[in-house]
Amino acid sequence: MTEPKRHKHSAGLLLFRRTTGGAERAATDPGDGIEVLLGHMGGPLWSGRDAGGWAIPKGEYGPQETPRDAARREFTEEIGLPPPEGEYLPLGDVRLTSGKLVTIWAVEADLDPALMVPGTFTMEWPPHSGREEEFPELDRVAWFAPPVAEKKLMASQMPFLERLLMLLKG
């Protein structure tokens, strides 16, 4: 008897911050004074892609780790900074077409993108060359108002941004 295929699991943190600027900014800011932190996917396959090339910092975990602990660990691995403290707001799960289950929490925090020290991964590059190259998991992070984030974020992660905005609107 063969064992059923175990789908992979991934967890991450979507940081958000409230921007300042008073009533004047609120009247002109379609993001209602909110920004989210996204990371641009590292490596040569993503280097020329902006739209759809940004993601919520996240990564895979196994059965020995809780999703929340994995989200915090992956944040540190990908950003190179400790995960923020504060209230972790569950944004639920999304099952990808690959079968992977992605779980995300939102947390209100501020972070200076210039402080990022990205983790790395190794892959054969160029393809079929036999040479291994090291690349950053994320090559940069940046804050975006929701209308801009919607254009940059990978389509499969859009439900998390939508859930955050609904949660913040009450």
> Are residues 135 and 42 in contact, defined by beta-carbon separation less than 8 angstroms?
yes
Tell me the pLDDT tens digit for each residue of 27-86. 444 457 999 999 999 888 788 888 889 999 999 999 999 999 999 999 999 999 999 999
Q: What distance in Å separates the CA atoms of residue 101 and residue 113, rounded to the nearest whole number?
A: 28
pLDDT at res. 20: 74
- How many other β-carbons are positioned within 10 Å of the β-carbon of residue 91? 23
Q: pLDDT digit string (tens) for 95-126? A: 988 899 999 999 999 999 999 998 888 999 98
Q: What is the pLDDT of residue 1?
A: 55
pLDDT at position 4 is 53
Cα angle 30, 93, 142; round to 5: 40
Percent above pLDDT 70 for the chain: 90
The pLDDT value given to residue 27: 41
The three-state secondary structure class of 153 is: strand
Amino acid at 85: E
pTM for this entry: 0.87
**Which parts of the chain are beta strand (E)?**
9-18, 34-41, 54-55, 58-61, 88-95, 101-108, 120-124, 132-136, 138-144
Average pLDDT taken over every residue of the chain? 89
pLDDT above 50 for 139: yes
